């Protein structure tokens, strides 16, 4: 099955700096890569996603890049703000199988220091 | 529009007790899922359902049972709770098998088994 590795597990940045979280996946058939943000005590929420036919996608201060050859994708947050502090999960979905199977990474706890 | 609602939000069980977690969605989603979230392990799929009357095992199904008698409800049962089942449980739903718009998660249930 799919294996998604995520790093770092924790990340501290100064407010205004950029943060980068990286994930690798094992199944070359995966074609959909969402990112979720989970604030303390809250539910995970989708913040951005990318499909295998796209190399980069941006939404204001967040962007995701995908390298299918190397099987890795990354989340980039620019001009970080305290409200960006949360746990971020990457995920990958393989094409194989008749039903959806999303494999999540273990999460990255991002702390933005004011 | 409530989205995905989970009940209860918190529960403490004694070893060997049973309980049912309820997940209700009002988005007419076909697919529903139960995950558990443990520190350092991310989100792991327990069971899922691809439609009313159907259920299937996920990555960590042992010790849990599920039912999907109505399209809007997905129940997770613990017949004989064990301390290893202490976790935060999240229900999620998606429109279709490709979850083009990502999952919608419930707010979570924090379960402690003593």
Instruction: Decide: residue B1, CB within 10 A, 0-12 exposed, 13-18 middle, 19+ buried.
Output: exposed
Q: Which residues on B lie below 8 Å from A46 (Cβ)? A: 101-103
Percent of chain B with pLDDT over 90: 80
Asked if A34 has any chain B CB less than 8 Å from its own CB, the reply is yes
pLDDT score for A98:
42
> Token digits for B7?
């009940």
Confidence of residue A93 (pLDDT cuts 50, 70, 90): confident
Chain A residue with the nearest C-alpha to that of B104: A45
CB atoms within 10 A of CB A51: 13
pLDDT score for B28:
92
Contact B103 A107 (CB under 8 A): no
Q: What is the mean pLDDT of residues B81-91?
A: 96
For residue A84, which phi and psi values (nearest 5 degrees)? -80, -10
Q: What is the pLDDT of residues A22-41, one digit of tens each?
A: 999 998 888 889 999 999 98
Residue A94 has pLDDT above 50, yes or no: yes
What proportions of chain A, in percent to the nearest 5, are helix, strand and coil? 5, 55, 40
Chain B residue with the nearest C-alpha to that of A51: B100
What is the rounded distance in angstroms from the CA atom of residue A16 to the CA atom of residue B86?
Answer: 38
pLDDT score for A54:
81
Among the partner-chain residues A46, A105, A106, the one whose CB lies closest to the CB of B102 is A46
Q: Which residues on A lie below 8 Å from B108 (Cβ)? A: 43
Contact B101 A98 (CB under 8 A): no
What is the rounded distance in angstroms from the CA atom of residue A101 to the CA atom of residue A94?
Answer: 7
For residue B44, which phi and psi values (nearest 5 degrees)? -120, 135
B107: distance to nearest CA of chain A, Å?
Answer: 5
Q: Which residues on A lie below 8 Å from B44 (Cβ)? A: 104
Q: What is the mean pLDDT of residues B45-66?
A: 94
pLDDT score for A106:
93
Q: What is the pLDDT of residues B16-41, one digit of tens each?
A: 999 999 999 999 998 999 999 998 88
Cα angle vertex A12, ends A6, A13, to 5°? 115
Residue B96 has pLDDT above 90, yes or no: no
What is the rounded distance in angstroms from the CA atom of residue A43 to the CA atom of residue A87?
Answer: 11
What is the rounded distance in angstroms from the CA atom of residue A89 to the CA atom of residue B41?
Answer: 11
pLDDT score for A32:
86
Asked if A25 has any chain B CB less than 8 Å from its own CB, the reply is no
B108: distance to nearest CA of chain A, Å?
Answer: 7
Q: What is the pLDDT of residues A41-86, one digit of tens each?
A: 899 999 999 988 889 999 999 999 999 999 999 999 999 999 999 9
B27: distance to nearest CA of chain A, Å?
Answer: 16
> Token digits for B107?
């707010």
pLDDT score for B99:
53
Instruction: Indicate the average pLDDT of chain B.
Output: 91
């Amino acid at each position: 099955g799919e294996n998604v590795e995520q790093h770092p597990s924790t990340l501290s940045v100064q407010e205004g700096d950029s943060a980068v979280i990286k994930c690798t996946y094992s199944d070359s058939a995966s074609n959909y890569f969402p990112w979720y943000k989970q604030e303390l005590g809250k539910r995970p929420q989708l913040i951005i996603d990318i499909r295998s036919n796209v190399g980069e996608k941006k939404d204001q201060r967040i962007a995701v890049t995908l390298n299918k050859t190397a099987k890795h994708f990354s989340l980039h947050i620019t001009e970080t703000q305290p409200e960006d502090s949360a746990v971020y999960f990457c995920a990958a979905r393989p094409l194989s199988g008749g039903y959806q199977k999303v494999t999540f990474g273990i999460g990255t706890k991002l702390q933005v220091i004011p | 529009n409530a989205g995905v609602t989970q009940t209860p939000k918190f529960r403490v069980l004694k070893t060997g007790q049973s309980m049912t977690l309820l997940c209700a969605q009002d988005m007419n989603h076909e697919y529903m899922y139960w995950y558990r979230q443990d520190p350092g392990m991310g989100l792991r799929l327990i069971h899922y359902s691809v439609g009313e009357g159907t259920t299937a095992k996920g990555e960590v199904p042992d010790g849990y049972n599920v039912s999907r008698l109505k399209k809007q409800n997905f129940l997770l049962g613990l017949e004989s709770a064990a301390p290893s089942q202490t976790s935060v449980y999240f229900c999620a739903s998606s429109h279709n098998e490709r979850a083009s718009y990502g999952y919608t998660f419930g707010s979570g249930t924090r379960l402690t088994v003593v």
